[in-house]
Amino acid sequence: MKTYWHRRDRNSKGRNSQRGYTLIEFVVTGIILTTIAAMAVLQLRPTWQDQQANAAMDQVKATLRQARETSIGQRRSILVKFVAAGGANCPVGSNISNCIELFQMVVSGSPPTATQATTPFLTIPVQANTLFGTVTGETDTPDAFGIPGSGGVYFGGQSGGPGSGMLFQSDGTFTDGSGNPINGTVFIAVSNINNSARAVTVLGNTGRIRAWKNSTQGWFQ
């Protein structure tokens, strides 16, 4: 009898040692994993926003350079428009707030007259979750072309740019609709995120395009 009970106890211990996790253990493990995941997301969020701002800056810079190169290569003026989402060529969707549109200027008539093409030959939706705008307390870039009171586009001393339009000319310069060279800046940001401030400047006399990033130390290229 003693041997019997000894074997039974030993088998019982073996069965207990092989039992699975309890429901409480599963719940506690799930809570711990969820907490760790949430902490990781919070830590990675500034990096993600920084990457979005950089992507938007690169899009603006690349599109303006393409417009300049096209105007020089085709020997014709290229009109640039910075537009809000919601129009026919810049539809609302996927958190897109702004687009850049490029139009050819078509010469016709006698005497020859240049007019804007009806539709853009290129429409670039700017990176999702970013917009043309500034953040609270933002200062001008070192190029000092001015900063808008509202919105993020400032050319020729006017928010939004001159009403006569903004064009790259065949010699590479950037002008208003009357052919006068204009300097200006496109400011970009993730809404309400100060460290996401970015900017792209254009020097009218040469068409030089430069990109800027803002940090706690100020603007740098």
Give Cβ neighbours of residue 130 (< 8 Å, ≥ 6 apart): 52, 53, 55, 56, 97, 98, 188, 189, 190, 196
- Burial pattern 45-74, b for ≥16 Cβ within 10 A else e, equals eeeebbebbbbbbebbbebbebbbebbbee
- Enclosing H/E stretch for 4: helix 2-17
In the chain, pLDDT over 70 holds for what percent of residues?
A: 80
pTM: 0.79
Cα–Cα separations (whole angstroms), residue 12 to 9, 17, 23, 188: 5, 9, 22, 69
pLDDT (tens digit per residue) in 150-195: 899 999 999 999 999 999 999 999 999 999 999 999 999 998 888 8
Give the per-residue pLDDT at 30. 64
Low-confidence ranges of the chain (pLDDT < 50): 1, 3-7, 38, 40-45
CA 78 to chain centre: 23
Give the per-residue pLDDT at 109. 85
Give the per-residue pLDDT at 114. 87
- Domains belonging to the chain, first-starting first, are 2-220 (3.55.40.10)
Cα–Cα separations (whole angstroms), residue 24 to 31, 72, 131: 11, 70, 47
Give the per-residue pLDDT at 189. 95
